[in-house]
Amino acid sequence: MTTLLWLQASGCGGCTMSLLCAESPGALEMLADAGIRLLWHPALSVETGAEARAILEDVATGRKCLDILCVEGAIARGPAGTGRFQMLSGTGQSLMHWAGRLAARARHVVAVGSCAAYGGVTAAGGNPTDAVGLQNDGAHAGGLLPADWRSGSGAPVINVAGCPTHPGWVTETLMLLAAGEVPALDGYARPRFFADHLVHHGCPKNEFYEYKASARELSEIGCMMENLGCIGTQAVGDCNIRPWNGEGSCTRGGYPCINCTAPQFEDPAHAFVDTPKIAGIPVGLPTDMPKAWFMALASLSKAATPVRIDANAHADRVVVPPTLRKPR
Amino acid sequence: MTRLVLGPFNRVEGDLEVTLDVVDGRVARAQVNAPLYRGFERMLEGRDPRDALVITPRICGICSISQSAAAARALGDAMGLSPTPQGAAMAALIHAAENVADHLTHFHLFFLPDFARPDYAGRPWHGRAVERFTAMEGSAQRAAVAARAELLHVMGLLAGKWPHTLAIQPGGVTRAPGLREKARLQATLRAFRRYLENVVFGGALEDFAALETVVGLMAWGRGDVGLFLEIAADLGLDDLGRGSGRYLSYGAYALDTGPVFARGVWNGGPGVFDPAQIREDLSHAWMRGEVAHPFEGMTEPDEGMAAPGYSWCKAPRLAGLGYEVGALARQVVDGHPLARALAGGGVLARVAGRLLELARTQAVMEALVAGIVPGAGFMARGRLPRQGAGGGLVEAARGALGHWLRIENGRIAGYQIIAPTTWNFSPRDAAGVPGPLEAALEGVEVGASGLSVQHVVRSFDPCMVCTVH
Ligand code: SF4
Ligand code: SF4
C-alpha cells in the first residue's frame, strides 16, 4: 500500500482534469491497481472541512505516513513573502506554509505540471504573485525548497512537467514510485521516460519539415517551425509518440508546440504563434543541430520540395495525394 | 450566534472558504471567500493580443475551452472578424463536448458522493447511493470517468488535446475535419449516447428533454438520475438553497445562424440583456478601484487584504442586480418548459437544469457532427488592429463568461474577465446586497453534519480558479 496526498496550489486544476483522461484502465482503477491509496485529493475525496484538515494535520505531524506528495500548481509567495495570495481555506495558513510542512514528511515529492515544477503560467507576465515551483524558480534551481533539498527517498522533487501534463506521464511516474523505482531524471528533474523524446518525433508534419514546406497561417497543414512558432524540435515530450485524448497532440490539432514542458515557456519574448527570425532565418535551431548544417540543408531541401508537398503545405487538408507506385 | 468557517471546501474546482453566522441552527449570514489570487489580467498587459489564446485557457483546467472561446470571440470582435460557418460549428462542438464533460464530472464526482456519507445511513436509498456514488470507488464514479475520457476523444480529433488547446481561433478552428474524422466523431458520440441512456438516464434522452413539469421530472424513476431524484424528494432538495429567480445567459454556442441556446435575462419573465449595463463593484473585494464596466475596469489587488474586503472576487452586477448563471439559467432563458417550472428553485433545480442540458446537448453535438461539410473553409483570416477593443461573451458549463480587451499600439492595454462563479459567488456590493450563493445560504438549517450547506454550495458547481483568475 502506497499513500498519496494531492495538493492543489496556485494553478488551474487542469493537471487533475488531464489525469482523469487516462485510459486503459482509467485513472482511478490504475492507481488502485498499483496499490496507491489517495489519503486526500481536493477534487475527488469525500472529506471536506474539518475532516480534510485532520488528514493534513496527521500527515504534517507524522501521525500518518506519506509515501507520495503530489503538488499541482505553483507556490504563490506573495504578497511580500507571506503566501497570502493563496490561503488554504479553513486553516488560516497559506498553501506555501502547508506545502513546506507536508513535503518534509513525504518519501517522494512529485510536482505535477509546469506550474508546480517551475512556476509556469502562474509566474507569467511579471509574476504578479511571486510564484515559484517546488524546487525551481523557472530554470534556476531552488524554489520553495532549496536546490540541495531531498525527499525521504533521497530524490529531488520529480518534475512531471507539462501544461497540462499528459495523464500517462503522471500515472507512470506514480506506478514506478509505488513499485519502489525512482525514474531517471533529466537536468530539469523531469522523468527521462518522456523527456528523452522531442515533440518533433512522430509529428505528422515531419515530411513537410524535411523540405521546410511551411504553413504560413494557422490551419495550413505544413510544418509550423518556420512561421508559426512551433518549437517541437526543441521541446521535450513524447506528445507525438503517444496520443492525447485518443489520437491528438498539439501539432496534430494544427497548432504549434509552445514547449510547455520547459521552464519559462510562459514568457517566450515573442508571440507564441510567431517564429522569431533574424534575416529571415528562425532563431531557435533544432536540438543538437549545428547551425551551418541546418542552414545548408534547409536551403537545399527547400529548393528540392516536391510539388505535392508544397501544395499540401499551404492547404488545410491533403489536396495532392502521393503518386502511386506500381509493383515491378 | 456561532461563526463557522468551512474549508478546505473540496469537490469544487479550486479554493473556496465559506463563513457562516448561525443563529438558532440556521444561517443568518454567509460570506463567500475566494482565497486564491493569480493576477491573469495583469499578466496579459503589454503582450501580443494573440497570446490571450495561450494564457487565458490556463486560468482554468476544467473550462479551458470556454476561456479559449471567449478570448477568440473578443479578439474577433476587435478584428471585425467572424469565424466561417463551419469553423463556428466546430468551435461549438469542441465547446459543447467540454460543457457536457463538466456536467458529468460535477454530477458524479463532485456532487453525488455526499449522499453516500454515513450521515444518511437508514434512508431507504442509502445502500444504493453507497454502491453507486461513493467517492472514487462507487460503480457510477468509475463509469463516469471512463465515459468522460472517451467523450474527450472529440478533443483529440478536433482540438489536439484537452485541456489547453490553441485550436479555437477568431476565424474558426485550426484543424479541418474530413469524412474520416466525421465518422470517428459519430462513433464517439454514439458511444456516449449509449452510456447516457443506459446508465445515467436509464431511458431515451429525448424523453427526458421532453419533460415539462416538476411532477413529471420527479416521476422519471430510472438510472442514476432516478436515484438522485428519489434522494432529492426524500431530502427536500427543491426547497434547499432557493435562488432569487433572476437568471442571465449570454447565449451558448454562437453559430452563423445565432446561438443554440438563447441569450437573455429572466426575472419572473423574459428580458433583454444589455452588456453595457454590466459593472463590477469592488467594495467587498480585496481590490482597489471604482465601480466600472469591464472595458474600463482594472485589477489592482489590495495586498493588505483590508476589511470590509473579504474575498479576491469582485461583485458583478447587471443594471445594479446580481444574477444567477449556469445550466439552469441557460435553460430558463432558452425557454425550456421544465427549466421555467424549476425557476427560483434550490439544489434540485440547479442539478436538474444541468441534467436537462446534458440530455439536450447530446442532440446538439450530434447535429453539429452531422452538419460537417468536408472541404468547406474552417478558418477565416483577418488582421489585428493596432488600436481597438472587443468583447467575447460565451457560456461555460457554469454559466456566463465574458472577456473584454483593449488593444493599444498593437499590445494588450487592458483585459478584464468575468467568470460564471464571479457572478454566482460574488461578495456583497456597496449596498450590502449579498451575491447569489450568499443569499441562497441564508436561512439554511445547518444540522449536525453541515451537509445541507455543502449541497447548496456544490449545487452551483463552483469554479473557484475562474472566479478570481
Ligand atoms: S510542426 Fe513542429 S513538431 Fe511538427 S514537424 Fe514541424 S517543427 Fe516538428
Ligand atoms: S506538443 Fe509541446 S506544447 Fe503541446 S503538450 Fe507537448 S510539449 Fe506541450
Mean residue pLDDT across chain A = 96
Kindly write down the DSSP assignment for every residue of A100-116, as one continuous string. Answer: HHHHTTEEEEEEESHHH
Cell of B149: 475520457
With a 6 Å cutoff on the Cβ, whether A106 touches ligand 2 is no
Q: Any idea which fold A2-191 has? A: Rossmann fold (3.40.50)
**From the alpha carbon of A232, which atom of ligand 2 is closest?**
2
Ligand 1 center–CA A210 separation, angstroms? 10
Q: Any idea which fold B2-467 has? A: Cytochrome-c3 Hydrogenase; chain B (1.10.645)
With a 6 Å cutoff on the Cβ, whether A237 touches ligand 2 is yes
Chain B residues within 8 A of A271 when measuring between CB atoms: 47-48, 50-51
Tell me the pTM: 0.97
With a 6 Å cutoff on the Cβ, whether A264 touches ligand 2 is no
Neighbour tally for A306: CB within 10 Å: 14
Chain B residues within 8 A of A47 when measuring between CB atoms: 10
Query: What residue in B sits closest to A317 (Cα-Cα)?
Result: B176
Grid cell 480558479 is found at B465
Q: Are B182 and B378 in contact (CB under 8 A)?
A: no
Domain A197-323 sits in CATH at 4.10.480.10
Residues 6+ apart with CB under 8 A from B20: B3, B4, B5, B6, B27, B29, B30, B31, B441, B446, B453
B167 vs B170: CA distance, rounded Å = 10
The dihedrals phi and psi of B420, each to the nearest 5 degrees, come to: -55, -45
Ligand 2 center–CA B288 separation, angstroms? 37
**From the alpha carbon of A240, which atom of ligand 1 is closest?**
3
Q: Which of residues 276-305 of A touch B (CB under 8 A)?
A: none
Mutation pick from B120, B137, B145, B453 vs chain A, by most beta carbons of A within 10 Å, is: B145
ipTM of the predicted assembly exceeds 0.90: yes
Residues 6+ apart with CB under 8 A from B367: none
Chain A residues within 8 A of B7 when measuring between CB atoms: 49, 88-91
Q: Which of residues 10-39 of A touch B (CB under 8 A)?
A: 10-18, 20-23, 26-29, 38
Ligand nearest to the CA of A286: 1
Domain map (residue ranges) of chain B: 2-467
With a 6 Å cutoff on the Cβ, whether A173 touches ligand 1 is no
With a 6 Å cutoff on the Cβ, whether A22 touches ligand 2 is no
A62 vs A52: CA distance, rounded Å = 16
- pLDDT tens, residue by residue, B282-299: 999 999 999 999 999 989
User: Out of B38, B54, B156, whose CB is closest to A244?
Assistant: B156
**From the alpha carbon of A162, which atom of ligand 2 is closest?**
8
With a 6 Å cutoff on the Cβ, whether A225 touches ligand 1 is yes
pLDDT in tens, chain B (469 residues): 999 999 898 998 888 999 999 999 999 999 999 888 999 999 999 999 999 999 999 999 999 999 999 999 999 999 999 999 999 999 999 999 999 999 999 999 999 999 999 999 999 999 999 999 999 999 999 999 999 999 999 999 999 999 999 999 999 999 999 999 999 999 999 999 999 999 999 999 999 999 999 999 999 999 999 999 999 999 999 999 999 999 999 999 999 999 999 999 999 999 999 999 999 999 999 999 999 999 999 899 999 999 999 999 999 999 999 999 999 999 999 999 999 999 999 999 999 999 999 999 999 999 999 999 999 999 999 999 999 999 999 999 999 999 999 999 999 999 999 999 999 999 999 999 999 999 999 999 998 888 999 999 999 999 888 888 8
The dihedrals phi and psi of B311, each to the nearest 5 degrees, come to: -155, 155
End-to-end Cα separation, chain B, in angstroms? 34
Kindly write down the DSSP assignment for every residue of B171-230, as one continuous string. Answer: TEES----HHHHHHHHHHHHHHHHHIIIIISSS-HHHHHT--SHHHHHT---HHHHHHHH
User: Out of A80, A244, A317, whose CB is closest to B161?
Assistant: A244
Question: CA nearest A214: which of A323, A115, A126, A301?
Answer: A301
- pLDDT tens, residue by residue, A226-256: 999 999 999 999 999 999 999 999 999 999 9
B75 vs B442: CA distance, rounded Å = 40
- Residue A272 to residue B134, Cβ atoms within 8 A: no
**From the alpha carbon of A225, which atom of ligand 1 is closest?**
7
With a 6 Å cutoff on the Cβ, whether A170 touches ligand 2 is no
The dihedrals phi and psi of B86, each to the nearest 5 degrees, come to: -70, -35
The dihedrals phi and psi of B410, each to the nearest 5 degrees, come to: 75, 5
- Residue A22 to residue B149, Cβ atoms within 8 A: yes
Domain map (residue ranges) of chain A: 2-191, 197-323
